[in-house]
Structure 1
């Protein structure tokens, strides 16, 4: 180390990263891997575009910092969620996969100026400089939509992992290719990459350090990133960070939060389908709309759990991150009493009989706490705005969606044997897709996190050959994911281009359309890339 880094001649063309490019080999540890070739990061189909992009990044870094040698590049990808929307913060399993689109942070470590200099490859974002001596006391103003806040959130995470860490001088160039507000977790990928860059720089600068290996474990990176992102005002549940960090090529990830964080890769057994991501181009920024959308849903599901526990005599629930009980805690408490998930749903309907929702005054009566107590405990750290809490609909969505995740995972694990049974394969794919479509319906009708544009793309997808389609991500804009026959994927993309993008955005460039809609595959998670960076 350093190792050769050849952009133009990949040493492997497989979709899985070869073990020799991981410190200690694949699966030898839970540490974030250190890699020295792009073929270990991207699939064969993605390599040509990525080689060009990385070459441009390195060239730009040298122009910006002509006297600084590039030390490493930290990378974290976005994610698309196949099934399991808005249930991670209730501690139910979800099934995302990492995608090719990612955030890269090129870093030089060293110097005596005691500063971190941030540049962005996107000229819309101005240069930012921070004094390292001030970082521990720096407060992030979550009310200000400032791009460097996501990097500072990573700094907070690194210091939470090691309060005594001595952060070195750093010169950074950030290149993010995940559209903001697209539902593909651009903010989480940015925070994960920033946190990874900081802890790797700390290790690189440590006296006697000869390797970047073992800078941080994947679980520590995820758990710290979850808390760190809350500094920018998002009450994140953990799915986005888990998918970004734990991603495995060719696999979805069953991410479990109870009783502890665990990510289990699940391989796709069928070869006849592809996933197509289509961005509505409606920006759904959790930072901006959190009080009426994302953060409000967290509060609604948390209060629903606490009220169910109170009204059904379940006793105190385990607390998630000091915020409140969860619907997973309710299910586990009922399970001890011999009540299955169907019985829990019946309890939800009994306790929350008012389908029009509940005012704060009515919530006080159900929970047995004062307005001041409820406001201070549940609505201060992450402010919300509402007229009525929709406890019944939100709880039913969470419980039903958790069951859909279980069913989807079971089907992936028991795919039909490949013996030329075309009818069997078709039925299997349609069954998978029906679960996805049911999820979208629930997100639209019960969780109220869809929008007209998402519904339109889902309808167009189903009318143009998709087996199933659904919103993916927080919703209220952002992206959809559709399950389509692989041999029809290119034709499917062309249909959406014509019937959605060219219809609603006359004059849109081909480049912007291609950024908005893509055929994707499960990708590698977070990694540190090192080498001589010759291009």
Structure 2
């Protein structure tokens, strides 16, 4: 990246900052409903090499969108950005606005091995890498929790995706072999040791190749349905509904709205269950809970797609301890909890079986819980 940056911009970058993608182990669409979620950062990262300028010009380029060349603008024109550059320039714009700083222009080169549109939070990884870089370079006082809120504002206001703070929280707070138990009602985050390495387990990501866009897809519809369920139930968020009370609302709201409520409430309960099991050193027991979570997304939240359903079914049949849709849904990826010793075989069997069922051949790869957003170490001399 340093060589490529120098070739593009005529000087070495000041540094390289990175942020991981994320996998959500359990707890989907719970963030904007005040529930619980249990995500972790993965060992695929987005990196951004940055050097400040002495004017207000901004030049950005990307290794994954080489046809765009260098995109040049000014700080005060950041909101004119299109495509992937919205995440870079939008992060700079919202950071300046929220912290009340002028900042200076910068040159940035982005490179990433976080898959885009898969449900592993490529956008939050890019935003967060840019934010931690600019906070350091501009000499700002902003901790991870401030940047979580700023990243959400980038998604909501600049990109137009009505997302909560799950992705930014996972990306900015992640630790190796840990998940982060996020309580969106309390605003708390607890580091929970996963114990996957010691137990000989790993997570497979099964990319269905069905792409989604939270700014234009069904995500917003589901959020509105959750808000309707809360309004009918007379609560601020669905977190206030106890699991045992869910069925009592069935006759008092539209059937689809009730199903959305049931998913959110039960997935919060599943997140608490999974966190308790891994905290107690029993990670092998979480598999059936993951699979139950998929059934809830497929049948109650209705944000799965046939290729994802097939991937979950064949993964469990091939020996996965559990599997489920991960991320916002309407495409993207499934995850499967597998024994490391069986991982290679299960990866091949899942890809073969999903393709044989008439879907695109999925890309399947293992991920491991990794560190959150940071400045990367300098290269050895």
TM range (shorter): over 0.9
Work out whether residues 248 and 265 of structure 1, in 8 Å CA contact, stay in contact via their aligned partners in 2.
no
* 1:341 matches 2:243: yes
TM-score by length of 2: 0.92
Residue 504 of structure 1: CA displacement?
5.8
C-alpha distance in 2 between matches for 1:347 and 1:157:
43
Q: What is the Cα deviation at residue 226 of structure 1?
A: 1.2
Aligned pair partner of 2:184 in 235, 242, 257: 257
Q: CA deviation digits over 1:144-164, x for unaligned, max 9?
A: x6221111221233124311x
Instruction: Tell me whether 1:127 sits opposite 2:67 in the alignment.
Output: no
1:256-277 deviation per Cα after TM superposition (whole angstroms, max 9, x unaligned): 2222242433332651321111
Aligned to 1:374: none
Q: Which residue in 1 is equivalent to 2:376? A: 529
Match of 2:126 in 1: 190
1:143-154, aligned counterparts within 5 Å? 146-154=83-91
Deviation at 1:171, TM superposition (A): 0.9
Query: Does the CA contact (< 8 Å) of 1:252 and 1:268 recur in 2?
Result: no
Note closer, same or farther for the CA distance 1:439–1:124 as it changes in structure 2 (3 Å cut): farther
1:73 to 12, 16, 23: 16
Relative to structure 1, is the Cα distance of residues 93 and 168 closer, same or farther in structure 2, using a 3 angstrom cutoff? same
Residue-by-residue CA offset, 1:272-305 (whole Å, 9 max, x unaligned): 321111100111121232xxx1011111111211
Alignment equivalent of 2:225, drawn from 283, 288, 300: 300
Partners of 1:475 and 1:243 in 2: how far apart? 17
Q: What is the CA distance between 1:86 and its match in structure 2?
A: 1.0
Partner of 1:63: 7
Q: What does residue 60 of structure 2 align with?
A: 118
Aligned pairs for 1:13-412 (under 5 A) are 57-66=1-10, 68-112=11-55, 114-122=56-64, 123-132=66-75, 134-135=76-77, 139=79, 146-163=83-100, 165-203=101-139, 215-231=141-157, 232-268=159-195, 271-289=199-217, 293-309=218-234, 325-328=236-239, 330-331=240-241, 340-343=242-245, 345-352=246-253, 354-355=254-255, 390-412=256-278
Q: 1:65 deviation in Å? A: 1.8
Partner of 2:325: 471
Q: After TM superposition, give the deviation of residue 198 of structure 1 in Å.
A: 2.4
* CA deviation string 1:41-96 (max 9, x = no partner): xxxxxxxxxxxxxxxx2221121122x22101121111011110111110111001
Whole-angstrom CA distance in 2 between matches of 1:267 and 1:182: 23
Cα distance in 2 for residues equivalent to 1:234 and 1:111: 33
Q: Which stretches of structure 1, 4 residues or more, deviate above 3 A after TM superposition? A: 138-141, 500-506
Q: Between Structure 1 and Structure 2, which shows a larger proportion of strand residues?
A: 2
* Alpha-carbon distance in structure 2 between the residues aligned to 1:154 and 1:172: 13
Which SS does the other structure have where 2:366 is aligned?
strand
Unaligned runs of 5+ residues in structure 2 are: none
Alpha-carbon deviation of 1:394? 0.4
**Alignment CA distance shift 1:81-1:179 (3 Å):** same
Paired residue secondary structure (2:233): helix
Distance 1:469 1:262 in 2: 24
Q: Aligned residues, how many? A: 378
SS in 2 for 1:286: coil
RMSD: 2.2
Cα distance in structure 1, aligned partners of 2:380 and 2:179: 33
Aligned equivalents of 2:46, 2:36: Cα separation in 1: 25
Give yes or no for contact 2:192–2:275 (8 Å, CA) kept in 1. no
How many angstroms apart in 2 are the aligned matches of 1:409 and 1:198?
34
Q: Does the Cα contact within 8 Å between 1:348 and 1:396 map onto a contact in 2?
A: no
3-state SS, counterpart of residue 252 of structure 1: strand
TM-score (norm 1): 0.67
Contact 2:13/2:51 (8 A) holds in 1: yes
Alignment deviations for residues 214-246 of structure 1 (CA, whole Å, 9 cap, x no partner): 753111111211122112111111111111000
C-alpha distance 445-124 of structure 1, shift in aligned 2 (>3 A):
farther
Give CA-to-partner distance per residue, 1:105-164, whole Å, 9 cap, x none.
10011334x2010011121434211213x24xx5458xxx6221111221233124311x
